[in-house]
Every structure is written in structure tokens, then in C-alpha cells.
Amino acid sequence: MVSFKINGETVQARQGWTVLETARQHGVHIPTLCHHEAVEPSGACRLCVVEVVQGKWSKIVISCMYPVAEGIEILTDSPRVKNVRRWILEMLLAECPGSKEIRALAAEYGVSASRFAAHHPDEQCILCGLCVRVCKEVVGVSAISTIGRGVHKKIGSPYQGPAEACVACGSCVTVCPTGAMRARLDAVRGEPKVKLAHGAK
């Protein structure tokens, strides 16, 4: 067992756990968007940042991937952490102004407007890739993926047509932190081949 401190309280963790897992185990709240217990962490949304203090120096790390170590001290709500989160939320607000969840989360941290230009007022997707990871790791079909890179990156199916591999399980919609996948599922699974409407002959 590894013992270290979260916000001044000593906690125990198994070797190989991440800081986020340990914090959740001990009831310490750390906000996350792209994290889900069912899949490997990817560190995409950066919202789970915490401050690691080791002796005289400290650094900001993402708790969903930072491995626990003996004797470190974690601060989940220090002024530095809050400042970084506010920045992240401001950028998320500009990236997907259409998301109710992001707006609510931003409001929690006192962020109501973004100083960055928002180009797509209805955008909801934060491109965290959680849907892609669920489709690959849990469902095992990889029907969707990220397409393009940089500002052109988006979530979609191969050749942006209906995906043959999609089993229409809806896992991507379930895990999506902002509900953006709801609007995309139809494009991914295409027209159902078997009509299940009542009364069909």
C-alpha cells in the first residue's frame, strides 16, 4: 500500500492506482468530463487537474493518469488548481457554447463568459473521445473514431457514412459527458435494416 496526502488528509492507495481513483475512493470530489471507470483514462479534458507538492516544488498534473507515489501531497482545490480549471472551462465554453453541462460546470467556478471567440454557437462536443474509447474498449467494434486533426478534428464513422460495424448499442450516447453524441448517433448507425415498428408484417 502507498500512503500519501490529499488536501492534508492521509490516504491509502494500492500501487498502480491513479490519484483520481484514490480521491474518489476516499470521497474527495474532482470534476471530470472525459473519465469513465469502464475505459482507460486518456487525459483529454484536463479538468481533473490537481497540484502535486513534493518537498519545495509543486506542479499541475492530471489526476486521472498521475500514478500514486509514497509521500506526495495532492491539493485538489488550491488557488492554482482553480485558476487552471477556470482557464480550461473558459476554453471549453468557447469550443462548445451549446452544451448545458459545460455552462453549468463553468458557473460553478464563476465562469460565465469566455474571452475566446466561439465559432459554432450550437456545438456541444468537447472532442474528449470518450465515445470512441467506449466503442473500442467496451463494445469492441470501433465504429467511430476521431477524424481529421487540429481545428478540423471531429467524431465520426469511417468515410463519414453509416458505419457497418455499429451495433446501435448506444454506449457512446450513454457515456457522452455533454450529450453531443445524441445528435450524431443517427448518422453513425444509419437507417436500421430491420424495422421493428409495431404492426409491421
Q: Which stretch binds another protein (CB under 8 A): 65-73, 110-118, 183-191, 193-201?
A: 65-73
Q: Which stretch binds another protein (CB under 8 A): 5-13, 62-70, 73-81, 107-115?
A: 62-70
Query: How many residues at the interface with another protein, by CB under 8 A?
Result: 9
We find the least distance from the C-beta atom of residue 114 to another protein, in angstroms, to be 23
We find the least distance from the C-beta atom of residue 30 to another protein, in angstroms, to be 16
We find the least distance from the C-beta atom of residue 145 to another protein, in angstroms, to be 8
Q: Is the CB of 158 or the CB of 179 nearer to another protein?
A: 158
Q: Does 61 bind another protein (CB under 8 A)?
A: yes
Q: Does 149 bind another protein (CB under 8 A)?
A: yes
We find the least distance from the C-beta atom of residue 41 to another protein, in angstroms, to be 9
15 beta partners: none
Q: Does 146 bind another protein (CB under 8 A)?
A: yes
